[in-house]
Structure formats: C-alpha cells, structure tokens
Amino acid sequence: MTVPLDHLPPSRRSVLQAGAAAAIVGSGALLASMARAQPRKLTFAWSQAGFCLAPVPVALERGFFEKNGLDVELLNWAGSSDQMLEALATAKADVGVGLIHRWVKPLEAGFDVKVVGSVHGGCLRLIGARAAGITADVASLKGKTIGVSDQNSPARQFYAIHLAKKGIDVEKDVDWRVYPADLLDVAAKKGEIQLIADGDPNVFLIEKRNPGVFTELGNSAKGEYAERLCCIVGARGELARNDKPRAAAVVRALAQASDYVSENPNEAAKIYARYAPKVPVEDLQKLLAELTYKHHPAGKALRNEVEAFATDFRNAGILKKSTDVVRFANQVSLDVLA
C-alpha cells in the first residue's frame, strides 16, 4: 500500500523527497536506502589542474557523493594516464576520471579498468595565427607546424583524427612540435609554429593575452563532436564487476554534479577556483558556461561513444588496424546502472 508523504515521519519523508529529486539519474528508492546506510569509502583519482573536471569537487562540496551513499577521498593525480589506469587496475585507487583521448590507446593494452560513466563534452581547440595565412580552408594547413604540449596530448590525438577526416595526411602534410603549454603562443609569435592544438583554459588564456592574433579552426564542443563526450569515468575492474551499486553511485553523483555545473556555472567556478588560483574566477565562469556538461552518457549510449572514438582512433592509426572496435567497446565499457 502506498502511504502519502504527509503521513510519514519527517526524517523518512525528507529521505524520500531527496530520492525523488534525483530520479533523473537513478532510483529514488535506491538513493533513500543508500542515504540510511553507512557511507561507503572510495578513493577518487583526478587531476585538479583540469578545470573541465569541476563536477568532481562540486560533487564533493555540494554533497552529491554523500547523497549517493559515498565517502569519497580525492587523490590529485599528477602522473600519466597509463599510470592512473595502472593504479586503478592494481586497486591503488577505486575510480578515476580523464579524457577519453588519453585512455583509448592504453585501454587497448588490457588494463583491468572499466569505463562506467562520463562527465562532459568537448574542451579541446585548434587555433591558427592569422599572420601565417591560416584560414578555415584546410588547404592552408598543409606544410604548417602545429604546436602541442606533448605528442600524446588529447588535443594532438583529437586533431589528428579531425584533420585526417578532412583529407590531411597528419604525418606528412603537417608537422607536430612540442612546447610547454604556456609558451605555445610565444612560439607562434616567433613563427616557429603556425597553429596551436590544446585544451582550455590554456587556449582561452592564450587568446585573452593575444586579442585578434588567432582564428579558431576547431572546437570539440561544436560541429560533429558537439554531442560527443570528452572526459570519462573509469572504475577498477573488480569494483565495477562485483560492487555495481558503489560504481553506480559514483556515476549518479557525477551526473548530478555535471548537471549542477551546467545550470550553475558561476557557483561551480567559485567551488573549483581554489584548485586554479592563477585563473580569475570570471574566466572560469565563462569557460564552464561554454562546455557541454549536459552531455554525460552512461550505459549503452556510453558504450556506443567509446566504439565511435575507437573507430576514429583506428582510422587515424592510433589504434592497431586489426583492433575489433565492437569487441573493444564491449570489453572496456560496463553498464553499472543496469
């Protein structure tokens, strides 16, 4: 028999109402049950330097982890993606988050890590120096040098795919040269490079320092990639397979936090600002408002996007030509909400 909310004790009523509010990302009954239970501890690895990962501290400070029955310890990860995936595979961390462009290749190597969720869409951009004759015409890019922060950076990987689709041979038609991220604009002004492929906030700050100098040629939050994910959530395999409720709680909490960032970019920027003290809050607010935080697929939709990225990476030669992308997506993705 269903009992009206106003007939329930206040404590029970509040729990049920909290669960109903989260219905878009999970069962209210499940959330209510978790709220009454002892919070389950979880170590969450992330890079606090990545402003696009703002939903992580938002989930902590706005109580989304707690509401989903989790006691989360954040681990600021300064190492490479390979090292993070190894840490997850060996249970040094339970969950981690990072750009799919850095994860696809090492996941092919067989780390026991499952992709269980996502946080947002695009944050990578390609800009060209107007003085070097760079225009929207793809032909203007041939023979040019693109500056990147490292040869395996997400922007390097993404724009290798992007340019290959437009008929550019990314190994012969263009050159890729590595510079420290904060010196990419200096290299461009010296004429050592003609284009910059990197993520925000760096590209945003470069354009802010050099108004009118660059033109935008690519943006992973627009065009064919506007509804494609960027940062994904991975859980250690044993946790994802054998403790789906805990993994699902992480996915729900981050989905709620991502929606919060989408709807409240100004407040989210204030929360994240302590992790990026050199970036003005008003700049963070502009950046967070531009990203697609409403796009954070899970389940089958997530698996399909993993397959799409794997296909792109294989076609661009980043993954082996022999890689079965359907099998790959099925193997590395797991629907913990099912």
Q: Which residues contact 331 (CB under 8 A, 6 or more apart)?
A: none
Residue-level pLDDT at 232: 92
CB atoms within 10 A of CB 10: 7
**Angstrom distance (rounded) from CA 328 to CA 176:** 28
Low-confidence stretches of the chain (pLDDT beneath 50): 1-28, 32, 34-35
Residue 131 parent element (H or E): none
Residue-level pLDDT at 319: 85
Q: Which residues contact 320 (CB under 8 A, 6 or more apart)?
A: 108, 314
Residue-level pLDDT at 37: 66
| Residue in 111, 52, 76, 78 with CA at minimum distance from that of residue 257 | 52
CB 270 within 8 A of CB 64: no
Report the SS3 class of residue 255.
helix
Residue-level pLDDT at 196: 96
Residue-level pLDDT at 270: 95
CB 174 within 8 A of CB 142: yes
Residue-level pLDDT at 245: 94
In this structure, are strands 70-76 and 40-46 parallel, antiparallel, or unpaired? parallel
**Angstrom distance (rounded) from CA 65 to CA 200:** 26
Length of the chain: 338
Residue-level pLDDT at 318: 82
Question: How many contiguous H segments (helices) and E segments (strands) does the chain have?
Answer: 15, 10
Q: Which residues contact 109 (CB under 8 A, 6 or more apart)?
A: none
CB atoms within 10 A of CB 2: 4
Cis peptide before 57 (omega within 30 of 0): no
**Angstrom distance (rounded) from CA 268 to CA 289:** 10
